[in-house]
Amino acid sequence: MQTNFTLAQLADPDTAASNQVLRTCVHCGFCTATCPTFVLLGDELDSPRGRIYLIKDMLESGRPATEEVVRHVDRCLSCLSCMTTCPSGVNYMHLVDHARVRIEQTYRRPWHERGLRALLATVLPRPGLMRAALIGARLARPLAAFIPGRSMPAQRLRALLALAPAHVPSPSAIEGARVHAAIGPRRGRVALLAGCAQQVLDPAINEATIRLLTRLGVEVVVARGAGCCGALTHHMGRHDPAMASARANIEAWCREADGEGLDAVIINASGCGTTVKDYGFMFRTDPLRAQAERVSGLAADITEYLARIGYAPTRAAPGLTVAYHSACSLQHGQQVTAQPKALLRQAGFTVVEPAEGHLCCGSAGTYNMMQPEIAGRLRARKLANLEATRPDVVAAGNIGCLTQLAGGALPVVHSVQLLDWMAGGPAPAALAGVSHD
Amino acid sequence: MTDRLEPADEAALARLVGEAHAEGTPLLVCGNASKLGMLRPVQAARTLSARALSGIGLYSPAELILAAGAGTPLAEVAAAVAAKGQHIIAEPPDFSALLGGGAQTLGGAVAANLSGPRRVAWGAMRDHVMGVRAVNGIGETIHSGGRVLKNVTGLDLCKLLAGSHGTLAVLSEITLKVLPAPERRATLVLRGLAPERAVAALAAALGSPYAVSGAAHLPAAQAARVPALAWLGGAVTLARIEDFASSVAYRSGRLRADLAAFGAAEMLDDAASQVAWAAVRDALPLAAEAGAVWRVSVRPSAGPAVARAVAEAFDAAWFFDWGGGLVWVAGPATEAAHDAVCAAARAAGGTWMLLRAPEALRAAVAVIPPEAPALAAITRRVKAAFDPKGILNPGRMFAGI
Amino acid sequence: MIAQPAPKRDVLARRDSIVAGLRALLPETGVIAEALRLKPYETDGLSAYRQVPLAVVLPETTEQVAAVMAFCHREGVRVVPRGAGTSLSGGALPMEDSVVVGLMRMNRILDIDYADRCAVVQAGVTNIGITQAVQGRGFFYAPDPSSQLACMIGGNVNMNSGGAHCLRYGVTANNLLGLKVVTVEGEVLEIGGAHMDAAGYDWLGLLTGSEGQLVVVTEVTVRILRGPEGARAMLAAFDSNEIAGACVDSIIASGIIPVALEFMDRPAIHACEAFAHAGYPLDAEAMLIIEVEGSVAEQDDLLEKISQICRKFDPISLKISQSAEESLAIWKGRKGAFGAVGRISPDYLCMDGTIPTSRLPEVLRRIGEMSMSYNLQVANIFHAGDGNLHPLIMFDANDPASFEKAEHFGADILRLCVEVGGCLTGEHGVGVEKRDLMGVQFSETELEQMRRVKSAFDPGWLLNPSKVFPLKADAA
């Protein structure tokens, strides 16, 4: 597609990168069809192609972001379904990330939005704060019914409270930086991104991951100094805190890699995985570039790594049907689609897939808090499609999806919990009510 | 007797129509006049026949196309393509037995857009018209489409002219898509089914993956009129499969198993299939009936209701083609019977065509459904866009147009 | 930039009152009139042509469309219907004084009737959405344009879209039973229904492919067909375009009608392989994708017959797909071909002429010569079974001279198509892109005849202005 940047504009590396993305787009419109917001809202402006056009106009004009651009870019889930669809290979992710930074720099949001975004950006990446906030939200949950009105702030407040789990788990006994030794002869050594929100919302996921890996002979390091991957703030356009988080991780993992060595950096929340795999690009003009690229190269989803080293169940098949929900960050962001299903089948489950598997469930990081109406419609649509497959349990590889889909008619677990269970770990708590062989 | 004009080439045709336009003289437009017994009678002082515009100008089997003058006898076209193992796939019917006319021309078959049993699987006559040349009511020569299979350049006047019964323009040349003729044909015959059951069986056949290319049902009395079917005794429900011999054997076996719930199927071989389907195509089971004949097109599942409604209204003979979607009806040539047919077609959300009746009846009733006012207004304007003085087959489809 | 007729000054002057009038007819989010939000609607799949409209409306029902049409008719406002905006001929290009009627919100499937093998869908349902809705029962909607993932059935009807499988199953016109349309005056008309063949004039046939010149389509009754037991594709690679072309003729002459028969030349093979990783032969000058249907035994039988024919032409390689995944990848490459060219060139113009299949080698040779003289690369994709040729001319839109050259190159190719007995467009439509070339294929008498038909539906020429017909008529 034709672009109109001045040479001065193109001297900025971010603009130059976006120009390249825009030049790749041929405006064919294939992406519209698989975009969740276009399917729901039926407006070009809420499609990837429309947003690309709005972003192009914003960047070319050099003007500050306007309310219209912000409204439509904010509605983007960053599910990246468009990137799977795009025949031309347009890197929409980098373009929209750039747009979000530009918006954050040039647009002043209403006070309530600024407050909420600051709150989320502060709380979510910090497990201690997050746990406290969840307990508070749980206590306040009954109040949700008394928040009146259809205004965006009211909707968001209700959504925040509704998302708080009824039960806030206690911190895991294995939380914190340490080395989990391999059981038996050591055949590998990996770092685990312990994450931030996930270890508060569902510590069982990291426990299952570590149990399974160590039982397979892999030493698991939760590196000192590593923490939130930076995705949450990155997607809010908060460049500096995102880079700070990423930098801490890169340095921590490179220390480990240079020390005892690392075969991989394991990520079991695919939303984080997409960002870690993009560190190389994020630091493309930074002195840390080589290290960032190294970390991105090491990054692997837990299912990618398991498929690489081999997995075998030790228990008899439980006779359960698993509806595999493909998290957007995994299927679109990282193009990891076959491994999770293959592993679950290997583990002895019958695996089914819902219709419209390419559509986002509405979780999308903080999206379900910022855009509750659209997120709610996507959730309902996803649950209906999942229920239509008549499974015993839903499995997914991302904590955001697990939280979003919980509370429906079906138990929802992380894929790794099922794999761990069949390899000798405990049955996932969510399956307590499900009868199995 | 009316004056009869038979231009020898397209230029002469254009000149004659131009003169008629200048004089405002109505023309009865035809080829071999084989279908004058259908639709509304035309009041015209002169008859303009395209029969002399005859001959195959282009036939390229590898490109699946044939172009011929509109007056070329259809039989000549059929023979030419058959010699190369191809056929006109829409299976246009021959109504000489039904209407008592002569052999039809290619132009007549296209102008009437009448399709045979293969309509359900391979489309209508108009779906295989790639291009036409024609002379409009002003005497101007126009072409639409061309000699290639895919063409969306400009408005598709081919389709508009196909089925316009010579009321918009006089066809002078037609380019048809032709296709390889099947190596073998076979027909499954289910016996003794009531109409609803028969249509259900045909729906199952057409909804199967075995490429059924004909789906008809004849009650006992009509089946008895077809030599290839009479020996079976009773009502027959027919499903045709055509392809390479090995495929026909395989698919007819599978289809027979799939339709087992409707009874054990007999099989007609290639020769018997050809006879049976030609009879269905040409409405031979009704040709010997006295009185009027209608063609009613409805959604297939509504076919039995139409048959029941007409049978209750008068002494009707009928049979189904197109899986129940085409109901052939014969009955008394009265306005009452016609009204009953129209009511049945309308109730089923479909259309009708009074195909055979004495001239008086055809002049008195709506031989095809009247259009809603907004659409009728468009019809008048489109007619005027081609034939501003209304000289081409006036009143053939709608009174006053 | 293509010439456009002057906007109506009186309409532009009444912009605010027109927008207010539209707002009174539609839900709050159904009218877009702010300059910045109108911008993404300035173009469609042919982004070289752009014009911001006066307003965009997004109706949700036929009644709303009718209300908008009646209003615009009263106000003398031009209307541009739009579906998914995937037209490659600029079919949805707005004019400055026009209201774009976007049908994307009308995306519901209203009825599926398996017994009568038809479905009623709103105009904004995607082409593939129909197949997805019925494939659970083994049915499908046959026309499959490459943009089928995104393009909408209303647009398919207006462009009479084809696809790779139309050799066997026909184009859109051959797969329709009925339409619900809105006239320029705002009248709702029902054309056809669930039955076959009109008794009166074939409005269905005329409206199909009429490029928004005659009516606005809001609902479509399509035929749905039971799918075959299975289908399998094979790839045949050859040393030259001539040999591949001769092989196509030989297959057709043998009496076999494959369900699809697609041709790609070397640049197209390379671009598509980079996108789809389908194992296309990168060492070939030309490649055929041939697909057959039926039971496994029938497929084997047909593929063997076709392989025997191909072998007579010394293929570089013959590869029969061994799995559904492999077939899917083969088709993914072909269907993403246009976009995939975006990987090797920032911009392209996609031509869409049709030629008699026997002239393919000659036409490709002459396109090659033009490519040299224009110094622009071209990739050729060809529906070999039906003669529809898609040369993709690569250029750089940031270089105005390059675009102008590409336009001339494209026009030369289309003239060549007509010269050898073909036509300007096989499935993309005339749109705005080929409007001024219509005189190459039609006489002024013929164009006048078509204009009179247009006037019969749209006497004031308000519908989808400045498309299809060379410009002079619009000025009237």
pLDDT tens-digit profile of C438-462? 999 999 999 999 999 999 999 999 9
pLDDT (mean) for C200-228: 97
pLDDT tens column, B195-232: 999 999 999 999 999 999 999 999 999 999 999 999 99
| Fold (topology level) of C345-437 | Alpha-Beta Plaits (3.30.70)
Lowest mean pLDDT among B32-36, B238-242, C98-102: B32-36
- Interface test mutation site (partner B, options C89, C116, C424, max chain B beta carbons within 10 A): C116
Q: How would you label B268-296 residue by residue, b for 16+ Cβ within 10 Å and e otherwise? A: beeebbeebbbbbbbbbbbbebebbbbbb
User: C271: pLDDT confidence band, cut at 50, 70 and 90?
Assistant: confident
Residues of chain C with CATH 3.30.465.10: 109-226
Give SS3 for A191.
strand
Examine the pLDDT at C2 and tell me if it is beyond 80.
no
Same domain, A278 and A316: no
pTM of the model: 0.95
Nearest-5° Cα angle at A251, A249 to A252: 65
Is some CB atom of chain B closer than 8 A to the CB atom of C467? no
Distance CA C68, CA C24 (A): 10
Same domain, A329 and A289: no
For A48, the domain range is: 7-106
- CATH number, domain B1-181+370-401: 3.30.465.10
Examine the pLDDT at B331 and tell me if it is beyond 50.
yes
Distance from CA of A261 to the nearest CA of C (A): 34
Examine the pLDDT at C476 and tell me if it is beyond 70.
no
3-state secondary structure B24-69: CCCEEEECCCCCCCCCCCCCCCEEEECCCCCCEEEEEHHHCEEEEE
Q: Which residues of B touch C255 (CB under 8 A)?
A: 85, 180-181, 183
Parallel, antiparallel, or unpaired: how do β-strands C286-293 and C231-238 relate? antiparallel
User: What pLDDT is stored for residue A437 in this prediction?
Assistant: 63
Query: Smallest Cβ distance to C397: which of A1, A24, A33?
Result: A1
**For the purposes of burial, counting CB atoms within 10 Å of the CB of C322, is it exposed (0-12), middle (13-18) or buried (19 or more)?**
exposed
- Interface test mutation site (partner C, options B128, B151, B212, max chain C beta carbons within 10 A): B151
Same domain, A317 and A418: yes
User: C385: pLDDT confidence band, cut at 50, 70 and 90?
Assistant: confident
Identify the residue with better confidence: A159 or A66: A66
Distance from CA of C34 to the nearest CA of A (A): 9
Same domain, A322 and A399: yes
Q: Which residues of B touch C118 (CB under 8 A)?
A: 299
pLDDT tens column, B74-133: 999 999 999 999 999 999 999 999 998 889 999 999 999 999 999 999 999 999 999 999
Residues of chain C with CATH 3.30.70.2740: 345-437
Distance CA B256, CA B249 (A): 11
- Structurally, how many domains does chain A consist of? 4
Q: Of all residues in chain B, what percent carry a pLDDT higher than 90?
A: 95
In a domain, A170, yes or no: no
User: What pLDDT is stored for residue B2 in this prediction?
Assistant: 59
Arithmetic mean of pLDDT over chain C: 93
Examine the pLDDT at C473 and tell me if it is beyond 70.
no
Same domain, A135 and A234: no
Q: Given an 8 Å threshold on Cβ–Cβ distance, is C116 in contact with B299?
A: yes
The CATH number of domain C109-226, selected from 3.40.50.920, 3.40.50.800, 3.40.50.200, 3.30.465.10:
3.30.465.10
Same domain, A418 and A324: yes
Q: Given an 8 Å threshold on Cβ–Cβ distance, is C124 in contact with A42?
A: yes
| Fold (topology level) of C9-105+453-475 | 3.30.43
Lowest mean pLDDT among A166-175, A414-423, C206-215: A166-175
Is some CB atom of chain A closer than 8 A to the CB atom of C279? no
pLDDT tens column, B332-387: 999 999 999 999 999 999 999 999 999 999 999 999 999 999 999 999 999 999 99
Query: Smallest Cβ distance to C45: which of A28, A85, A355?
Result: A28
In a domain, A13, yes or no: yes
- CATH number, domain B184-281: 3.30.70.2190
User: C167: pLDDT confidence band, cut at 50, 70 and 90?
Assistant: confident
Same domain, A278 and A211: yes
The enclosing domain of A51 has a CATH number of: 1.10.1060.10
User: C4: pLDDT confidence band, cut at 50, 70 and 90?
Assistant: confident
- CATH number, domain C231-338: 3.30.70.2190
pLDDT (mean) for A139-158: 83
In a domain, A171, yes or no: no
Domains B184-281 and B289-364 share a fold: yes
pLDDT tens column, A256-283: 999 999 999 999 999 999 999 999 999 9
Q: Given an 8 Å threshold on Cβ–Cβ distance, is C32 in contact with A32?
A: no
User: What pLDDT is stored for residue A436 in this prediction?
Assistant: 67
User: What pLDDT is stored for residue C1 in this prediction?
Assistant: 62
Specify whether the CB–CB gap between C394 and C347 falls below 8 A: yes
Residues 6+ apart with CB under 8 A from A79: A36, A328, A329, A332, A360, A364
User: C345: pLDDT confidence band, cut at 50, 70 and 90?
Assistant: confident
Examine the pLDDT at B33 and tell me if it is beyond 50.
yes
Domain residue limits, chain B: 1-181+370-401, 184-281, 289-364
User: What pLDDT is stored for residue A63 in this prediction?
Assistant: 94
In a domain, A196, yes or no: yes
Distance from CA of C256 to the nearest CA of A (A): 32
The enclosing domain of A401 has a CATH number of: 3.40.50.1860
pLDDT tens column, B153-180: 999 999 999 999 999 999 999 999 999 9
Same domain, A66 and A152: no
- CATH number, domain B289-364: 3.30.70.2030
pLDDT tens column, C59-93: 999 999 999 999 999 999 999 999 999 999 999 99
Specify whether the CB–CB gap between C165 and C172 falls below 8 A: no
Arithmetic mean of pLDDT over chain B: 96
Q: What is the DSSP secondary structure assignment for residue A182, as one 8-state letter? A: P
Write out the H or E segment, with its range, that includes residue A178: strand A178-180
User: What pLDDT is stored for residue A285 in this prediction?
Assistant: 94
Same domain, A274 and A201: yes
User: What pLDDT is stored for residue B1 in this prediction?
Assistant: 45
Tokens of B274: 């050809």
Place of tokens 């996921």: A205
Q: How many other CB atoms are found less than 10 A from the CB of residue A412?
A: 23
In a domain, A173, yes or no: no
